[in-house]
Structure 1
């Protein structure tokens, strides 16, 4: 009799869990407008339930940052790997005298946040194309062109994806190579006249740069040297504006929603172990409490839409070169 009751309880528990998973899956599909064929739905649901368990375990054990579902939750690893589109080439330091910015952290503001600055364009979505490098390059150039001229407007990432022969379009690239291309071939065109479409087409298009007028030119760019140096990055951020960088993206990062991201597996020894381009737009510190120390962080812009993370942004631990973010910062100045 006891064995019968035990088996019955197991059957009931499995049935309840299955019903809860089905309800979660239906709710997720409705929220993120997912429509799959009946055959595909089985595999997509399996991916979603796998992520659901990871998210639950993380949020139960980690108090510094939270994970949550987003448009990636039912995707395969092959699909999310497309988003890892940075391919940094060997670092080349340009030969030009650099201004001496203060490197004493006490002389710097305690908080910088460019997210509401009029020169920073809205967060965009690279879609299913490894074009993060183009978005990083254009974001910084847009900001600096606006800061110099007062003219605020979008520049074209699609032009770089289609035309930049120094990079590889949807197959990845290096934001400094993009600036070199723009410096050599005239400049960036207006994003309204040459809109981004590769997130939908998932491929490069035919280059049309010759039919569009140049809207912004690259005057100079370089790395933040020496590296990794968080205080120096803070100085350049204050003086130059948003700074593109490259990071290593782990699976955990895809489901970030809030808090200060960190992962022990993202402290890496190889500086070339990076696969995604982002833009640092600020920094700050989470105050200490009676139970936890202060947490310094970077405010970083992503190119996975405003529906990802915190309105398209994320915080990541500052001062420890988390995910190599402090190894690849660079700046650009508009001509």
Structure 2
């Protein structure tokens, strides 16, 4: 799921690059790499949403009897962007799910509660997922793995964890695990097999960020300040997945926070139509409903 694997032989790392986005340490390795494609050097971003596993997981859930989710009426537009932390950069590895949940999602919930300590350290969760679920490989994950772990174990703060965003091999210390218990996720709701549009509108209007996992298309990575609107109909479906966080909506669609730094999209955000949310490109949708502070 991490595209750097496919292009590692071509990677041209810009050694002087520093991490200006706040997603890593000042002297850490560059978060992204440049690869040569024809006559052009282009940036390769980390992904990491395992869309195949997530789709299979949600298909199993869809077959099981479950109480129908009912959603309260929501306003025609609503935004949590004022509570969002500055978009960070996940680096070159497949940690997007823990950035969408443990960084962007947590950031909104903590700012709404005026909680101290943020932003959080997504690599705290991802390193444990790699160790326990991925046989030590940087092969990504999905929110149905990450969210229960954040509910059970919490997540450490960036200031306390203090690790390179690309270091998924170093596991948390006892002290870091203990501190993470102060920041447990209280609850979350799986909206994947529900009325997604109604569910997202209800969640956002009640202050709940919504991480979503999707299969990427060829026109997504190139979004920038001049065009931050993602139109899936204009791109070719590709074999990688990514997780991002819905932070707002209006009649036309959603506003979404990414994890590729502020230089991508509109300061790290993009917009997309409702038709994308309800399409088969999107494989999982969850709302993060509350935190459980110790």
TM-score for both structures, normalised by structure 1 = 0.62
Structure 2 portions without partners, runs of 5+: 1-13, 19-33
Residue 116 in structure 1 maps to residue 82 in structure 2: yes
Aligned residues: 244
Larger radius of gyration: 1
Is the CA contact 2:215–2:240 (under 8 Å) kept in the aligned structure 1?
yes
**Structure 1 segments unaligned to the other structure (5+ residues):** 1-28, 34-40, 49-72, 286-295
SS at match of 2:270: strand
Shift of 1:245: 0.3
Q: Distance in 1 between matches of 2:107 and 2:66?
A: 23
Equivalent in the alignment of 2:171: 207
SS of match in other structure, 1:248: strand
Aligned-partner Cα distance in 2 for 1:46–1:146: 44
Q: Kindly report the root-mean-square deviation, in angstroms, between the aligned alpha carbons of the 2 structures.
A: 3.3
Q: Select the structure that is richer in strand.
A: 2
- 1:236 pairs with one of 203, 209, 213: 203
Q: What SS is found at the alignment partner of 1:142?
A: helix
Residue 47 of structure 2, aligned match among 78, 84, 87: 84
For the Cα contact (< 8 Å) 2:80–2:108, is it kept in 1?
A: no
Verify: 1:44 aligned to 2:36, yes or no.
yes
Structure that is richer in helix per residue: 1
Q: Is contact 2:196–2:285 with CA below 8 Å preserved after alignment? A: no
- Residue 129 of structure 1 is matched in structure 2 by 93
Give the structure-2-normalised TM-score: 0.70
Deviation at 1:217, TM superposition (A): 0.6
**SS of structure 2 residue aligned to 1:280:** strand
Shift of 1:226: 3.7
Q: Which residue of 1 aligns with 2:244?
A: 278
Q: Contact 2:228/2:269 (CA < 8 Å) preserved in 1?
A: no
Q: Which one has more relative contact order, counting CA pairs under 8 Å at least 6 apart?
A: 2
**1:315 and 2:265 aligned:** no
Q: 1:266 to 1:247 in 2, by over 3 A?
A: farther
Is the contact between residue 228 and residue 266 of structure 2 (CA under 8 Å) also seen in structure 1? no
Question: 123, 142, 150: which one pairs with 1:158?
Answer: 123
The equivalent position to 1:306 in structure 2, one of 237, 240, 262, is 262
1:175 and 2:167 matched: no
What whole-Å deviation, never above 9, does each CA across 1:91-120 have from its counterpart, x for those lacking one? 358999898432xxxx42222222222xx2
